[in-house]
Amino acid sequence: MPRDSFAIGPVRVRAGAARDLEIPITRLITGADVGLPVRVLHGKEDGPVVWVNAATHGDEVVGVEVVRRLLGALKPREMRGTLIAVPVLNVLGVMTGERYLPDRRDLNRSFPGSARGSLASRIAHLMMTEVVAKCEVGIDLHTGSDRRSNLPQVRADLDDPRTRELASAFGAPVMLHAKIRDGSLRHAARERGATVLLYEGGEAWRFDEWAITAAVDGVRRVLTTLGMVDPVEEEPPAPSVECRASGWVRARHTGFVHLDVELGQRVEEGDRLGSIADSFGRTLRLVRADRAGVVVGRAEAPVLNGGDAVVHIATPEG
Ligand SMILES: [Zn+2]
């Protein structure tokens, strides 16, 4: 018995085939239609239905490249199950070069959305009804924002055994237990019963190769664990460092910052992380670690105001 075709939007995708479609979102002032680009890879054999999406925030382009590379390497004829890829969820944000939507709303606070709500709410609703509702597992790819870079990390509800298993399989350097944020894609999808991983890595508006590679490998390992694709021969990644809590060290002075720490570096409480200087280069303040842990994020902007976030430290378990 051949596998049933997969229905999405106005199309049906045959088993063993891939299909691109655009699900209508809205019409621009010029009269041009804007749609959500989606590619479905409907595997030849039965298996789970999974989505991977990028650019929930319009400036977070690392995931767009991750999806491109994944799609280039996957063949539906050799796959079990179905992958729904949404490379640019916040289409209008990507178009206008903005993190948010033209109505200033944060798409990741607009879930589950509604068909007659704001533009953000409509895109959220479309994603929920056309994609999430059909899936049992989802991966939401993010990037650091506001001129900050993130160590490749999975943020997920590690208290849920299934989520934890897939987060471990991803094999990012760090997995961080993260409480659900109301209005987020992750929260709304959880409510519908999906297992969701959120990936963070790299810097907004950059194709950071290390963040792209970590995510391409991580998503592939998750698909392998789910039995959708055959394993590739590789050295198993070092186990993710599990962290339950994290916090930002903030600038205690306005000035030019020089950081001495790299992403992934281990620090002890009180360690020097960098310094803040005035325009003549005189040191005004040292930046010190307020806790022991792993550096999972850092400011990339040289000019900081007092109170700005400088270094993000996550505390490993045990
Ligand atoms: Zn984001």
Tell me the pTM: 0.96
Q: Identify the segments of the chain with pLDDT beneath 70.
A: 1
CA distances (Å), origin 299, targets 149, 198, 251, 285, 311: 7, 21, 10, 16, 6
Query: Angle at which helices 62-73 and 209-225 pack, to 10 degrees?
Result: 50
Per-residue pLDDT at 112:
97
Per-residue pLDDT at 38:
98
CA of 248 to the centre of ligand 1 (A): 17
CA of 7 to the centre of ligand 1 (A): 29
Per-residue pLDDT at 103:
85
CA of 120 to the centre of ligand 1 (A): 14
Per-residue DSSP letter, 75:
-
Confirm if 213 and 69 have CB atoms less than 8 A apart.
no
Per-residue pLDDT at 117:
92
Distance in angstroms (rounded) separating the CA atoms of residues 90 and 160 = 28
Q: Write the secondary structure of 86-145 as one string of H (helix), E (strand) and C (coil).
A: ECCCCHHHHHHCCCCCCCCCCHHHCCCCCCCCCHHHHHHHHHHHHHHHHCCEEEEEEEEC
Is the N-terminal amide bond of 112 cis, ω within 30° of 0? yes
Per-residue pLDDT at 184:
97
CA of 199 to the centre of ligand 1 (A): 9
Per-residue pLDDT at 222:
98
Per-residue pLDDT at 29:
86
CA of 174 to the centre of ligand 1 (A): 17
Query: Strand, helix or coil at 76?
Result: helix
CA of 236 to the centre of ligand 1 (A): 28
CA of 317 to the centre of ligand 1 (A): 25
Distance in angstroms (rounded) separating the CA atoms of residues 49 and 119 = 27
Q: Pairing mode, if any, of strands 137-144 and 195-203? A: parallel
